[in-house]
Structure 1
Amino acid sequence: MSITNLELQNYLDGMLRVKEISDYCPNGLQVEGARNIETIITGVTASQALVDAAVEKNADAIIVHHGYFWKGESQVITGMKKRRLSALLANDINLYAYHLPLDVHPEFGNNRQLAALLGIENVSAVSSVKPLGVVMQGDLVESVDGHTLQSKLKKLLGREILIEGPVTKPISTIAWCTGGGQGFIEQAVDLGVDAFISGEVSEQTVHTAREMGITFFAAGHHATERYGVKSLGEHIAEQFDVTVQFIDIDNPA
């Protein structure tokens, strides 16, 4: 069946439990466009490049993980923000964004999808962003050393992977938090896992890994968060009579 923009919002908001999760930005429909939706573009971030790609594809909607209107940013509509919003409004494109709700979703979430990509088993949530977990832990199918896991991540994610801490000890248990989750490394240590994966790294993360004996991987904010919105789009295409295409705008961060 086809769908309207408000019907899509209600469906996604309910499935992703938006009302139950406090966030740093509005989740759901951020910019209203055409009423009827036939073509949807999904991507990690609502950059100008993704908006331009949606215009080229004659899309009626864009669904992203990183949208607009973050807490603490300037509220004026000038420069980059004006250009992005102008393109959306001029082409009647709806913009939907789901930040923490998409990080933590047990099926389509970024954390859950990274686990699926790596073949991690016995996945469980261990840190709460109510009502679900923002950090997950699980087991590798086979124990590997740090360099072997680094090579696997590099192949799967298509980018260089930073590794710190012990690199030769066996890794069989692992915790992870996609994106900017490096601050959870000490919680991973407390869990007793062998390794921790996040998207980003801070200066202090390196020292924590070295001094606390946990193998740490920084695998890229963008690279670790491709798969949630992609899987969400695939689900929407199965549920409704719409065309959905994931567009990956390269970002080395």
Structure 2
Amino acid sequence: MGGERGSIVHRITKRVSQEIEEDPNLVLINKKNADQADYLIGGGITSFDTYIDREKKDNRKYCTKGVFVSIRYQLVDVKTKEIVYTEERYIDRQDTREGSAPHAIAVVSDDIDMLAKQIVDITRPHEVKVTERIYLVETKNKDFKTACKLAKKSENRRKAQELFAKVYADEGSYQTGYNSAVLLFLNRDFEKAMEEMQAIEEKFHTKEAQKALKRIQEEIEYQQKPVQETSLDSMYLRF
């Protein structure tokens, strides 16, 4: 794959490799020894577009280069072939310079470097942040307070979900029901998360619940797709 799109793929692959090699807790495995790896990181560009606007000002020529890139990446358990994490990220950036238009990689290089760090972060379960919104509201309910504290760490999310579900059964508040469904999703219990979030949306009709429903449905549909070869160089990891 050549051109600007190919350059972006190469930059992402290179930066992810560097992030892995700099982490003392991760080992980058050669493809020929893939059976010794724990996980595979793969992905690819799902959408790519650029545009150029030119203008003349004070007898000087300026070019604005716009770049849009959609990148989907996933973490696959090598032994079970299960996709344990998947996400799609978007980069939409523009850069104005005097003279000729900059190369796409120059426009999005900082975004790619940041994305590389985020991709490698998915291999560190203890450091992954909760990206879905969790309500941490003031309450006198001790179980709710405990659940809020537990939800901040990935290893405690299952217990947090159980507590939120318990409080919701007792009190029926929107926050507890929503939190329970979100944590089911983060714990990858997608079918149950869909069932609970549908019930929450039908009862409370909030934009957050509608958005979460769409996200869960998209994940369920994606999980049903077979693992395919990707345009990014696959990387095998051992802990």
TM-score (norm 1): 0.27
- Which of these two proteins has the greater Rg computed from alpha carbons? 2
Larger RCO of the pair (alpha carbons < 8 Å, separation 6+) = 2
- The structure richer in helix per residue is 2
Q: What TM-score do you get using the length of structure 2 for normalisation?
A: 0.29
